[in-house]
Structure 1
Amino acid sequence: MKLDAKIFVTGHRGMVGSAIVRRLQSGGYTNIVTRTHAELDLLDQRATHEFLRTEQPEYLFIAAAKVGGIQANNLYRADFLYRNLLIEANLIHGAHLAGVQRLLFLGSSCIYPRDCPQPIKEEYLLTGPLEATNEPYAIAKIAGIKMAESYNRQYGRQYISVMPTNLYGPNDNYDLANSHVLPALLRKAHEAKARGDAAYVVWGSGAPRREFLYVDDLADACVYLMELGYEGPLVNIGTGQDVTIRELAETIMNVVGFDGRIVFDSSKPDGTPRKLLDVSRLAGLGWRARTALQDGIRAAYDSASFRI
């Protein structure tokens, strides 16, 4: 990518989009285009297509999405399916109509079958049933991946898809009702410490294993692939290492400085037993994550909105 190339980053106020903007800025890119929801509603096909025709970006990062944890995915199933389908369809088709040749679509590791072999290879996509609690979100993301592949095949575009593992970092969502597991536990541990509680509650059994990637590492990988000119099949982005939810909870306790105990609420769902991505494809392209889990959690805690 040329340093003066026009780059449109959607979802720039979110955790992923803001990290991509930070990475582009630190890399010397000077022509970054962003729009708030009030300025451009990506659910509006006409407005989205008109914007892309007018602005003519050379590169497009699709980081805009409706996201949430297990509870949000399970409660707002129609919203997750409808909104994500519209956002990606409007942007991918609109980019094609506007002549945008390079595009990066961000999926999610929940697209893979619930019980597929570990670590998860990219080719396991569509080989088995999805995890029921986030099936609508996963189906929407799979549709986005297939859209990108189909526009490449039919029209010769260079639209790539990446599959990040569980993310965390600056600008994360710390709403206890709708957030993912790591930010939720970080806030719970902080508030338990502030109240002087003897314990804090963790959903599920603590046995499931999860992989966590610091969001600035994800942004670095996305920009790396665009700079590389990669135009192959979807790419997993992760660390290649996972921990149990119990181990995660204990690490968070150490970072926060909470010396109580953990109580597991087994009445709440565990979700997928394990989600570890095979990152050998990305490693073969020359990229690996750099941020250790405890270091990343500390950086996330230092910048957490509930502490400001």
Structure 2
Amino acid sequence: MATDVSSGLRDIWQRRLRYRDSVYRFLSKRKVMAAFTILPALLLFVFITLGPIVWAIAAGFFEIPVFVPQWEFILFDNYVELLGEGVFWASLWRSILFAGGSTAFQLVAGIGIALLVNREFRFSGLVQTVVILPYMIPTAVLGFMALWMGNAQWGVINRVLIDLGLLDGPFSWFGRHSTAMIAVILTSSWKFTIFVTIMVLARLQSIPTDHYEAARIAGASRLQMFRDVTLPNLKSVVFIVLLLRGVWMFNKFDIVWVLTGGGPGDATRTAPIYAYELAFGMTRLGKAAAMSTLLFVFLASVALVYFRVLQPAQEVRTR
């Protein structure tokens, strides 16, 4: 009796070991491990990123009443209506202007700041930390700070300019049609220039000092060293920054909304602002989805041209 029980327990234990070994062998396969490693991130990407994109593309073919659950299929009517509107093309142009102006300013200022803080001097580490601080400030907080500083009545910017004799009286930087876009570009660049600075600074610190020593021995000036050593090494970073900052600033909503709400009038009504107004102001959800799809196609086309013309992957590979 005891022998039978012991034999049964031994068989159960051996089956358990064989089952465990088979599971281990299955999980040890390269493809299985890759699937289990990638699957969670892939599912997260599908539900958080790909799912909303597919939903927005599909919603663009419908008229979506706010208080009625039934969607009406209208095929391309939303797209035809958008493409025939001057408001849409004007908002698209303002987005291009905002993205282009912001990216250009951030690129020039970011490289300049990176070159300055890359030098060895006393408290250089502290200065680099202070330079990064604006990037850590929440965008909404920075926007309200800019509104307070640029206020026509008691803003510090107007007060300084009046004291210096550059202004005769109070000036509404965000409230005038002629200066609102410039003010928004400069305010957004105040925060996002630091992203360029961080990227460029990291690349500057990876350039071997031997290159500069060789150029100095050859009699090169500072300008020549920047042109022949620094700038070629920054090309890969500049290409990345151009794409990232251009796309991000084109889609930027929060800083523009906080500063002007798309005004005054339509001076800063960029494409994301107009899409927001369509969806939540005019309750045209299907039309807003169609506009989002058009903006997605536009950015994808620009990115395709960018990769074909500038070939940033080839530039990075040569570094």
- TM tier relative to shorter chain: under 0.3
Q: State the TM-score, normalized to the length of structure 1.
A: 0.23
Larger radius of gyration: 2
Larger RCO of the pair (alpha carbons < 8 Å, separation 6+): 2
TM-score (norm: length of structure 2): 0.23
Of Structure 1 and Structure 2, the greater helix share is in 2
